[in-house]
Structure 1
Amino acid sequence: MSKLKDLGGLGQAVWLDFVDRKFLEAGGLKKLVDEDGLTGVTSNPSIFEKAMGHGDAYDETLATFDAKTPGAATIDRYEHLAIQDIKAAAETLQPVYDRLDAKDGYVSLEVSPYISDDTDATIAEAAKLWAAVDRPNLMIKIPGTQAGAPAIAATIAAGINVNVTLLFAVDAYIRVAEAYAMGLEERVRQGQPIDRIASVASFFVSRIDTMIDKEIDRRVGEGDAEADALKAVRGKVAIANAKIAYQWYLEFLKTDRWQALAAKGAQPQRLLWASTGVKDPAYPDTLYIDTLIGADTVNTMPPKTMDAFRDHGTAAVTLTEQIDEARHVLAEADRLGLDLDGVTGTLVQEGVASFVKAFDDLLGSIAAKQPATA
């Protein structure tokens, strides 16, 4: 049996962090569902920029749309292409969604990164994209920013599934977990069902180590007196941070607040490990899979990481192991002045900025593809 399927047996869903027209048309997604037990797909502006901005896979569809809708805005042309891909992925995953009774089988589509600090605009765009795709196994991706939290609550209350993205800090995760509960509670007050509403909280991993390790290396290189202690936490902070977030999740499920929702059929908002591709060649390429395996979680992997785990990953429950060690790592990071709070705050800003740049590039490449009738 595939090692990726083994993860499913341990309670962790495997999602693909990739969408591409040619991949979908060639049956690549269905193959992963059939052979590896894949149960979801994520997309973001960077993924779409790579897919649409290069090559000619989308040119024919775009030309047809332009012929039917002359003078359409670039954003509308992009959304037409993206929605087609998301619908195709959703249809491939529909049997998974049905088999698992709405507990998985989701594909995610992100709101525009241009509105990450605008609550009302995010709520409106989530509703627009939800209606345009019109598939029950869609999740709308909303950044876990300060403005995103109330948008998440409102979107859940409207009966729309949400994938909260760009989470780095435990405090930010707690804020959006509570926003999810708030949205469900509002639906209950409205007399609406909550048993088929789903959400994941996408907690980013490798980027934290990338930034902190860079600071560690700088200080060690300069002969810092704490060099040994710094080296001892290198490559461990992101995993420790994720493990502590999961500990909060486990405790939240025990609360009266959550139990009241669970009694009405509410699904837990699963933690999803994102940014799981290893950036540092000194680390095993399956590091952020092997160390974060646990029940009711998701790991969304780029194709290269998925291939690596299939080949030589280790499927065993690790997420709830060495929690005291995780707390020690975070305490050491704090004592050593590695400023995890500052790092996670910077990473949110950089994440939004990188998606904005990718979106700029994507819209620019689509704008450059002139209508066939021009």
Structure 2
Amino acid sequence: MNRLQAVHALGQSIWVDFISRELLASGGLRRLIEDDAVTGLTSNPAIFEKAIGAGGDYDAALRTLVAAGTREPATLFEHLAIDDIRAAADEFRKVYDQTRAADGYVSLEVSPRLANDAAGTIAQARRLWAEVRRDNLMIKVPGTAAGVEAVRTLIGEGINVNVTLLFSREAYRAVAEAYVDGVETWTQRNGSAANIASVASFFVSRIDAAMDAELQGRIDAGDPASARLQKLLGSVAIANARLAYQDSKAIFTTPRWQQLAQQSRARPQRLLWASTGTKNPAFRDTLYVEELIGPDTVNTVPPATLDAFRDHGEARSRLQQAIGEAQAVFDEIDALQLPFASIVERLVVDGVQLFVDADDKLLAAVTRKRDAAGV
């Protein structure tokens, strides 16, 4: 049993935060599934931009699409992405079947330009769900106010959802409640909800990057509380995630949920740890994997971090440890009047914009390749 398999044995699913045609064609994804117990995959516009923009893996498919009369860059991309997502979902189908729809999911994101458009998000999610035609697909929806509305509707229609760009416990709780509402709607109309699945993607490293910049700025300015600020460096993101996990346990042990789960065989929405590659070179490169291992959760891991953990990570369940210390971190944030709430609000806006920027680069890359196809 290697280190990644050991994490799986502790009750956490490891998903890979990456997709490319080369990974699929070379058998690399199958090896991750068979050798490392990887049980799912996530994608986003930035990942597809890197995959499609670099090299020539997609050139032949692009030429075929262009020759058939498709020229709109967004439509070309969607064809390419759906082919990859279907292929990845097929690789994970055995996991999906063996776990009886508990795991084995592949995520495809709606356009980031729809982040504040609930109706547009719902419409595109329905269309992608119908076009991909894989039971183990999850549609990624941002956890904005509009996204929460979309989650409630989509789950109510039996469409699996990966809710992304969650940074605060308040945002997470709103998403979890929307999931419960959606399961209730589905159950009232259809009975069993055993095949409905959702994850709530709670971001980690970006919080430390933003909070540490705020803390260090105050320390460098000679804040009288510098010693207390120093102790908070590198501690906020993990504390935030651990407290969110406590929120999750509370939500999915309420009488309302227990009755609904018994009636419909619905599964709780799992927390998924995202942005788990360290951004601070002073941190251990496996920090956000090691500290957040716990049962009934997912960690979606970029390839470099996956390799690092396989090589030297420590597989030990830590997620439910130091809850008192985690709460103390946020008590100190309040006492020092640190702008955590405004920082995480900005991170959502910035996260959407990063995906829009990646989408722009992606469509530009597709356009260049289309024009170079000579068809």
* 1:310 corresponding residue in structure 2: 310
Q: Is contact 1:97-1:103 (8 Å) kept?
A: yes
Q: Deviations over 1:151-180 (max 9, x none)?
A: 001111111100000000000000010111
Which SS does the other structure have where 2:276 is aligned? coil
* 1:117 corresponding residue in structure 2: 116
Whether 2:78 is the aligned partner of 1:56: answer no
* 1:92 corresponding residue in structure 2: 91
Whether 2:305 is the aligned partner of 1:291: answer no
* 1:168 corresponding residue in structure 2: 167
Q: In the alignment, residue 10 of structure 1 is paired with which amino acid? A: L
1:373 positional shift: 5.0
* 2:321 corresponding residue in structure 1: 321
Which SS does the other structure have where 1:273 is aligned? strand
Supply the distance in 2 between the matched residues of 1:290 and 1:54 (Cα, whole angstroms).
Answer: 32
Supply the distance in 1 between the matched residues of 2:27 and 2:339 (Cα, whole angstroms).
Answer: 45
Q: Is contact 1:67-1:373 (8 Å) kept?
A: no
Q: In the alignment, residue 128 of structure 2 is paired with which amino acid? A: L
Q: Is contact 2:62-2:370 (8 Å) kept?
A: no
* 2:231 corresponding residue in structure 1: 232
Q: In the alignment, residue 153 of structure 2 is paired with which amino acid? A: A
Alignment of 1:146-225 (within 5 A): 146-225=145-224
Cα gap change, 1:31 to 1:132, in 2 (>3 Å): same
Q: In the alignment, residue 203 of structure 1 is paired with which amino acid? A: F
1:71 positional shift: 4.5
Q: In the alignment, residue 160 of structure 1 is paired with which amino acid? A: I
* 1:273 corresponding residue in structure 2: 273
1:230 positional shift: 0.6
Which SS does the other structure have where 1:203 is aligned? strand
State which drifts further: 314-323 or 270-279: 314-323
Runs (5+) with no aligned partner, structure 2: none
Supply the distance in 1 between the matched residues of 2:301 and 2:153 (Cα, whole angstroms).
Answer: 29
Q: Deviations over 1:214-240 (max 9, x none)?
A: 111111112211111011011000100
Supply the distance in 1 between the matched residues of 2:344 and 2:244 (Cα, whole angstroms).
Answer: 14
Q: In the alignment, residue 168 of structure 1 is paired with which amino acid? A: F
Runs (5+) with no aligned partner, structure 1: none
**Percent of pairs identical after alignment?**
51
Q: In the alignment, residue 46 of structure 1 is paired with which amino acid? A: A
Matched residue count: 373
Supply the distance in 2 between the matched residues of 1:190 and 1:71 (Cα, whole angstroms).
Answer: 39
* 2:40 corresponding residue in structure 1: 40
Supply the distance in 1 between the matched residues of 2:302 and 2:208 (Cα, whole angstroms).
Answer: 18
Q: Deviations over 1:109-164 (max 9, x none)?
A: 00000111100110010010011110000000000000001100111111110000
State which drifts further: 219-228 or 89-98: 219-228
Supply the distance in 2 between the matched residues of 1:334 and 1:255 (Cα, whole angstroms).
Answer: 28
Which SS does the other structure have where 2:151 is aligned? helix
Q: Is contact 2:104-2:136 (8 Å) kept?
A: yes
Supply the distance in 2 between the matched residues of 1:8 and 1:296 (Cα, whole angstroms).
Answer: 10
Q: In the alignment, residue 107 of structure 2 is paired with which amino acid? A: S
**Alignment root-mean-square deviation, CA:** 1.0
1:72 positional shift: 3.3
Q: In the alignment, residue 224 of structure 1 is paired with which amino acid? A: D
Q: In the alignment, residue 183 of structure 1 is paired with which amino acid? A: G
Supply the distance in 1 between the matched residues of 2:71 and 2:120 (Cα, whole angstroms).
Answer: 21
* 1:357 corresponding residue in structure 2: 357
1:338 positional shift: 2.1
